[in-house]
Amino acid sequence: MMGGANAHYDGIKAFSETDFTGDLKAIDVPTLVMHGDDDQIVPIADSAPLSAKLLKHATLKIYKGYPHGMLTVNADVINRDLLAFFRS
């Protein structure tokens, strides 16, 4: 979780300016899209539902009150849901 300011800026710039539409449409395996509805970094309305629509076999799971860092802050819930998805 540490890095140089320029590297962080360049990463965010590249990620925010890249159109992943074609990549998402090409994925044809079951895919779990997970997003917290309190993400202050990547607003949910601009990401998860749109991604899930483009994926052929998407499952969208929205976590009420979860932040951008939900993978670490809420690892117990996220890991349990990941395992359930993998087993299904």
3-class secondary structure per residue, 19-70: CCHHHHHHCCCCEEEEEECCCCCCCHHHCHHHHHHHCCCEEEEEECCCCCCH
Identify the pLDDT of residue 2. 79
Identify the pLDDT of residue 81. 98
Identify the pLDDT of residue 1. 63
Spatial CB neighbours of 51, under 8 Å, sequence gap ≥ 6: 20, 24, 33, 58
Count of structural domains, the chain: 1
Does residue 62 lie within any of the structural domains? Answer: yes
Does residue 76 lie within any of the structural domains? Answer: yes
Identify the pLDDT of residue 19. 94
Q: What is the pTM of this model?
A: 0.85
Do the Cβ atoms of 61 and 79 come closer than 8 Å?
A: no
Does residue 31 lie within any of the structural domains? Answer: yes
Does residue 8 lie within any of the structural domains? Answer: no
Identify the pLDDT of residue 46. 87
Identify the pLDDT of residue 78. 98
Does residue 11 lie within any of the structural domains? Answer: no
Do the Cβ atoms of 16 and 46 come closer than 8 Å?
A: no
Identify the pLDDT of residue 3. 85
Identify the pLDDT of residue 48. 96
Domain of residue 25: give its range. 20-87
Low-confidence ranges of the chain (pLDDT < 50): none
